[in-house]
């Protein structure tokens, strides 16, 4: 009978000890586990942030190329339709060649650098004016050239 009591007592003691261990283990993460998780997050961020920045820059450069092409096309159409070059970008807007002057994706303002030349784009053209447009930003693009030369 004594052996049965000892075994029962040991079983009860083991049960209580097991519950205590479970409670203690479910309290949270240890400092080492937390440091490992933070290190993994830091590594993932160090990979993701440069990739994200490059994709944002590529999107802005693509928007710049598209806006420049649209502005140049509008200047060309205005010049051939009216037989005179526009004197400002606002002329393109008032003549409905553009809905609005787009913002320069690099400066976030509609502050384009216009090129006014004395030469004529068309034999029928009477007055010189704006012949080209460039970005107002002096930053360097991914291809190594300044945005103001595009």
Note down pLDDT in tens along the chain; length 150 residues: 555 555 666 667 666 666 666 555 556 779 999 999 999 999 999 999 999 999 999 999 999 999 999 999 999 999 989 888 899 999 999 999 999 999 999 999 999 999 988 777 677 777 888 999 999 999 999 899 999 999
Instruction: Spell 87-114 as b/e; 16+ CB within 10 A means b.
Output: eebebbeeeebbeebbebbbbeeeebeb
Please report whether residue 144 resides in a domain. yes
For residue 100, give its domain range. Answer: 31-149
The reply to whether 10 falls in a domain is no
104 contacts 112 by C-beta, under 8 angstroms: yes
What is the number of structural domains in the chain?
1
131 lies in some domain: yes
* In-domain check, residue 127: yes
Is residue 56 included in any domain, yes or no?
A: yes
Query: pTM value?
Result: 0.70
At 135, give phi and psi (nearest 5°).
-70, 150
Q: Is residue 118 part of a domain?
A: yes
Using CA atoms, how far apart are residues 94 and 91, in angstroms rounded to an integer? 5
Is the residue at 15 inside a domain? no
């Amino acid at each position: 009978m004594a052996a049965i009591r000892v075994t029962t007592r040991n079983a009860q003691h083991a049960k209580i000890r097991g519950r205590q261990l479970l409670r203690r283990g479910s309290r949270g993460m240890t400092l080492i586990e937390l440091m490992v998780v933070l290190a993994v997050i830091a590594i993932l961020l160090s990979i993701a942030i440069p990739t994200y920045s490059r994709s944002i820059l590529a999107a802005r450069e693509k928007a710049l190329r598209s806006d420049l092409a649209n502005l140049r096309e509008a200047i060309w159409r205005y010049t051939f339709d009216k037989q005179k070059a526009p004197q400002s970008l606002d002329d393109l807007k008032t003549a409905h060649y553009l809905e609005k002057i787009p913002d320069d994706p690099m400066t976030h303002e509609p502050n384009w650098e216009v090129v006014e030349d004395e030469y004529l784009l068309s034999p029928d053209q009477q007055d010189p004016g704006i012949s080209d447009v460039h970005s107002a930003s002096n930053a360097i693009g991914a291809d190594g050239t300044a945005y103001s030369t595009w």
